[in-house]
Amino acid sequence: MQRRTYLAAVGTSLLAGCSSGSDSSTTETDTDTSTPTETPTDTPTATPEPTLEDVSFPDGVTGDDVSADVVTSHQRQLLGEQYTIEMESVEGSRLTQTTVEIGSNSIHQEQVSSNTSNRSFYKNGDIGFASANDGEFHFTVDPTVNRDAVSQIRRLRRHIEAGNYTPTDAVEQNGSLLIRAEADDASLTERFRRRAIDTIDSYSGTVLLTEDGRIVDLKYDMTFSRNDRSTDTEFSFATKAVGSTSVSEPSWLSTARADAVTFTARPAGGDDPKYVAIDIEGDGSLPSNISGSLSFADGSAFGQTSSTISGGDTLYLAATPENRLTVSVNTQPSNVANIDGRTFVNVNLNGVAVVNQSLSL
């Protein structure tokens, strides 16, 4: 798109003086009563506000639409960069704030929540550790956790795909022109259905994009229903310090290296796997509040248990024909649905994700 060149128009005003004299009937006096000439002043006109005509649209953005393709542009712009992500989410009464430092080969995430314990994780190369319950237990991080996972790429794609985001104007921020797009509705896409969301009752959002497609800021408010229960959620996402972020090591790292528990997920159930087994190794203490989910082509299943687990145990997750999740310890499940294909596995201990990965069943 043709970029408009801004010119500061300069106006000049010159006020000319006039002279006057007076005659006296007595003594004639020469008096200079002329008005002094004013010094010309330059009065610049205000710089016009930028508009969409002043910006170039990246891939995935047109004059009347923002598609999920812009998330690929966002990934491309951050490839190989060091940067920081700041997020805040409110779901129901729970407030969660997250900061992620992303380096060339390392990741450090700190998360604080209003009604659960603080948690953090650090990964350098293929080796990663997490601390949860304010340091009460430590575990190894799934090796598949990568820059895209902590950068919320799935979430960005899900919301920009579903929301009716439309460019509204251009704004200047820190010397750069950004594209602002807004949404006032969202569709119930397959990506939302995989998260067991039944309806989207209301949605509004705003996204700020650079001209090369980097997502600088995303905010949305959303009300959705799941299992006949309505939930209000707010979320904000910001990409900062691109090219100037340094990743710090957490203070608990040496302790985690010594006593971290490892969770390894694998397909289970014979030659034709139908459910997921998670092998637990290590001597560290673990909480007993276990919840999990399986997301697959035909739907999703959620469930939980309060069973005690420790190193040497195997945790089993299986979906029933009614799409409910059974969670068992050291006992293989029965009456399970025949899941076939890619399946996303999630396991949480006291609300802390210890497994987040995709398996082929």
Greatest alpha-carbon span in the chain: 129
pLDDT recorded at residue 15:
35
CATH 3.40.1000 fits 57-240, yes or no: no
Q: Is 60 left (phi over 0), alpha (psi -120 to 50) or beta?
A: left
Report residue 224's pLDDT band, with 50, 70 and 90 as the boundaries.
very high
pLDDT at 38: 59
- Percentage of the chain lying above the pLDDT 90 cut: 50
pLDDT value at 324 more than 60: yes
HSE-CB at 347 with a 13 A cutoff on CA atoms is 30
- DSSP conformation class of 257: H
């905010």: which residue's tokens? 219
CA distance 119 to 98: 10
Q: What is the dihedral of CA 85, 91, 96, 101, to 10 degrees?
A: -20
Q: Lowest mean pLDDT of 28-42, 101-115, 197-211, 256-270, name the range.
A: 28-42
Note the Cα 248 to chain centre separation in Å: 21
The token pair at 297 is 């082509």
Which candidate, 74, 79, 135, 72, places its Cα nearest to that of 102?
A: 79
> Rounded to an integer, what is the distance from CA 194 to the centroid of its chain?
19
Of 206 and 322, the structure prediction assigns the larger pLDDT to 206
Instruction: Annotate 175-187 with DSSP letters as a single string.
Output: TEEEEEEEES-B-
Beta bridge partners of 235: 89, 220
Q: How confident is the model over 19-41, as pLDDT tens digits?
A: 344 444 444 444 445 555 556 66
186 touches 203 (CB < 8 A): yes
301 exposure class (CB count in 10 Å sphere: 0-12, 13-18, 19+):
buried
Q: Which is higher by pLDDT, 166 or 150? A: 166
57-240 and 261-360 share one fold: no
Q: By mean pLDDT, which of 150-164, 194-208, 260-274, 345-359 is the weakest? A: 345-359
* pLDDT band, residue 322 (cuts 50/70/90): confident
pLDDT of residue 43: 60
Task: Round to whole Å and give the CA distance between 272 and 226.
Answer: 31
Higher pLDDT, 59 or 27: 59
- What does the block give as tokens for 188? 């119930």
CA distances from 33 to 38, 39, 199, 232, 298 (A): 15, 18, 83, 76, 96
Q: How far apart are CA 345 and CA 4, in angstroms?
A: 50
Question: 204 φ, ψ to 5°?
Answer: -150, 140
Q: Report yes or no: 55 and 207 within 8 Å, Cβ to Cβ.
A: no
> In the chain, what are the domain boundaries?
57-240, 261-360
Is the pLDDT reported for residue 284 higher than 90?
no
The predicted model gives 106-131 an average pLDDT of: 86
- The string over 144-183, giving b where at least 16 C-beta atoms fall within 10 Å of a residue's C-beta and e elsewhere, is ebebeebbbbebbbbbbbbbebebeebeeeeeebbbbbbb
228-277 confidence digits (pLDDT tens): 999 999 999 999 999 999 999 999 999 988 888 999 999 998 888 889 99
Element containing residue 149 per DSSP (H, E): helix 147-150
CATH number belonging to the domain at 261-360, selected among 2.30.30, 2.60.40, 1.20.120, 1.20.1300: 2.60.40
Put residue 254 in one of left, alpha, beta given phi > 0 → left and psi -120 to 50 → alpha.
alpha
The pLDDT score that the predictor gives to residue 41 is 61
Q: How confident is the model at residue 149 (pLDDT cuts 50, 70, 90)?
A: confident
Most confident by average pLDDT, 33-42, 200-209, 300-309, 316-325: 200-209
Q: What is the model's pLDDT at position 44?
A: 65
Residue 212 token pair:
């090369």
